[in-house]
Amino acid sequence: MINLKPKSSLGLLLLAFLIVTLPLIAGHGRALLFVDQISTRSDEVVARGVHLVSETSTLADDLTGLQRHARQYQVIGEAQLVERFDADSAAMLARLASIRNGFPESANDDTLDILEARIIGARAGISRHESDSPELQELVDSLARLSIVTPRLEAEANRYVRDELKALDDATTTARRRLLLQASAMIPATVLLVLFFSFVVERPMRQMGRAIRALGEGDLNKTIDVRGPREVEHLGRELDWLRARLVESEEEKSQFLRRVSHELKTPLASIREGAELLSEESLGNLSGDQKEVATLVRESSIDLQRQIENLLSFNLRDALDAAVHITEFSLRQLVDEIRERHRLPLTANNLVLDFESKVETCRADREKVRIALDNLITNAVRYSPDNSIIEVSARRGRGQTVIEVNDQGPGVPQSERDFIFRPFFQGTSSSSKKHVRGTGIGLSVARESITTQGGTLTLQNSRRGARFRITLPDMKEDTKCVERPELSPQASPLSA
């Protein structure tokens, strides 16, 4: 089977140009053919008309010459005049034959027949009769009567020319009408062909654009299939190969994070347990400096444990999408649990975590809300100045629960507001009192935990510090799957 698919985009463009121009070329050729036919017929009509008018207008002079020779012979009787009459009559018969050929076959030849018969009879009779015979006189009279026939023949020639010119004009009008109809049909046909080939040429580019956008947004599950010229299909296969490599890379990254996180948790648990024992002076009394060091080790181990938990949560973000388990729980109790987890850094920096709620219970996925609030409060503790207040509030409004976390730290610079939810993004603020540098995925995990429930996590404008707002829609218990919203290119996991 012959493969007609173009090898390149240039070949497709050339094919499209050829097919689009074919109707125009055909129409132009047909117009030229019409013009050529009309021109040829016009030349024929003009030439035949000029010939007929010229020949018929000369017949009267020829007939007058014959009459003159006959009368001269009648008076003088010389044989030389008979010869002149014979020669002139022969020339007139030849002219009549030429006129007959100029008329179409369907023309009425009665007038020509009468003229030819009279001329032939006069040519034969003049040589048989004496100059003074009554027969010769009758011949001269018959020639004189022919003078009323020649104008009739001239009128027929003129009428024939007018009819031909009218027929030519009708043919020109018909040809013009046909060309207009043909152009009217070709214009929409050409437009349709242009639109069709625009779609054919542009479709592979749109497919490539969608495939690249999907890669940028982290959608690696759909196979890339680009249809078009061979070189474009080859690029599509290369993109699909890149997608497969990204899938492998994501899987390798996930495996690495799981392995490292789990391997770190065991020794970290031992470090934390030892720091707890030292801080509680279970192994003996400590001096002030020793107690400060023990407290520092304990806080750092807690911070490290929280970061490892964030890494695991981020690594399992696909599992977060699998099911959302809705229960009704107490927000105050949840905030108290989180406050207890942060008791040491809160106490060390003389921070107050204040919770003001007009909502007793919330219907949502408790564990995901805990992950989000824990990360937001961790950030607030890290960036809040000493002796300040971290405010957590909750209220109901328009079929949803709104939770806000507001600190009194330096806030988020305007240049970083569009990037803070991006995985692994770390701000440039230098006012943090944290002992261990974060991984930059806390806010990403927090937003992921909320958006999988159909809610939102946004950064609000604030006069001082950073103010984050969580909105959770009212949901029924045992809600299973909530579609995960698309990530922007800046928030794509690939951008990490």
**In a shared domain, residues 352 and 403:** yes
pLDDT of amino acid 133: 76
318 vs 122, which has greater pLDDT? Answer: 122
Q: Is residue 112 part of a domain?
A: yes
CATH classification at residue 310: 1.10.287.130
How many Cβ atoms from other residues are within 10 Å of residue 423's Cβ? Answer: 22
Q: What is the pLDDT of residues 404-443, one digit of tens each?
A: 999 998 888 888 888 888 877 776 654 454 444 556 678 8
Q: In 3D, which of 468, 441, 453, 480 has the Cα closest to residue 366?
A: 453
Do residues 110 and 14 share a domain? yes
Same domain, 175 and 98: yes
For residue 107, what is the domain's CATH number?
Answer: 1.20.120.240
- For residue 363, pLDDT over 50 is answered with yes
Q: Is the entire prediction scored with pTM above 0.85?
A: no
For residue 294, CA distances in Å to 273, 288, 349 come to 11, 10, 16
197 within some domain:
no
Report yes or no on 63 lying in a domain: yes
Mean pLDDT over residues 122-141, rounded?
A: 74
pLDDT band (50, 70, 90) for residue 310: low
Residue 278 sits in the same domain as residue 385: no
For residues 371-398, average pLDDT: 90
* Residue 1: predicted pLDDT: 43
| 493 occurs within a structural domain | yes
On whether residue 55 sits in a domain, the answer given is yes
pLDDT for res 318: 52
For range 240-253, the mean pLDDT: 82
pLDDT score at 428:
65
Please tell me the distance from the alpha carbon of residue 476 to that of residue 496, in angstroms, as a whole number: 35
HEC sequence for 342-405: CHHHHHHCCCEEEEEECCCEEEECHHHHHHHHHHHHHHHHHHCCCCCEEEEEEEEECCEEEEEE
Q: Of 315, 330, 365, which residue constitutes the final position of a domain?
A: 315
How large a percentage of the chain has pLDDT more than 70? 83
In this structure, the answer to whether residues 249 and 375 fall within a common structural domain is: no
- pLDDT, position 492: 34
Same domain, 300 and 343: no
Q: How far does the chain reach from its first CA to its final CA, in angstroms? A: 48
| Listed residues 299, 315, 331: the one ending a domain | 315
Q: What is the mean pLDDT of residues 73-87?
A: 78
Tally of domains within the chain: 3
What pLDDT score was predicted for residue 9? 63
User: What confidence score (pLDDT) does residue 334 get?
Assistant: 92
pLDDT, position 487: 36
Average pLDDT, the chain: 76
**Is it the case that residue 57 has pLDDT exceeding 50?**
yes
The yes-or-no verdict on residue 101 having pLDDT over 70 is yes
Domain span holding position 354: 320-427+438-496
pLDDT of residue 150: 75
Question: Are residues 423 and 324 both part of a single domain?
Answer: yes
Please name the residues in contact with 139: beta carbons below 8 A apart, sequence gap of 6 or more. Answer: 70, 121, 122, 125, 126, 129
Q: Decide if 51 contacts 102 (C-beta within 8 A).
A: yes
What are 259-283's pLDDT values in tens digits? 776 677 667 777 777 777 777 777 7
Residues 244 and 387 in one domain: no
pLDDT(457) > 90: yes
Query: What pLDDT is attached to residue 146?
Result: 75
How many whole angstroms separate alpha carbon 39 and alpha carbon 31? 12
325 in the same domain as 311: no
332 and 295 housed in the same domain: no
Q: Is the pLDDT of residue 80 over 70?
A: yes
Round to whole Å and give the CA distance between 111 and 149.
7
Question: By percentage, how much of the chain surpasses pLDDT 90?
Answer: 10
Does 338 have pLDDT greater than 60? yes
For residues 359 and 407, state if they share a domain.
yes
Predicted confidence at residue 417, as pLDDT, reads 85
Last residue of a domain, one of 167, 184, 201: 184
Which CATH number characterizes residue 418's domain? 3.30.565.10
For residue 112, what pLDDT is reported? 76
Q: Is the residue at 350 inside a domain?
A: yes
Q: Is residue 216 part of a domain?
A: no
Tell me if 195 is assigned to some domain: no
Q: How confident is the model at residue 353 (pLDDT cuts 50, 70, 90)?
A: very high
* Least confident interval from 118-127, 186-195, 224-233, 307-316: 307-316
Q: What is the mean pLDDT of residues 72-80?
A: 76
Among 93-107, 176-190, 429-443, the minimum mean pLDDT is found in 429-443
Confidence category of residue 464, pLDDT binned at 50, 70, 90: confident
288 and 253, same domain (yes or no): yes
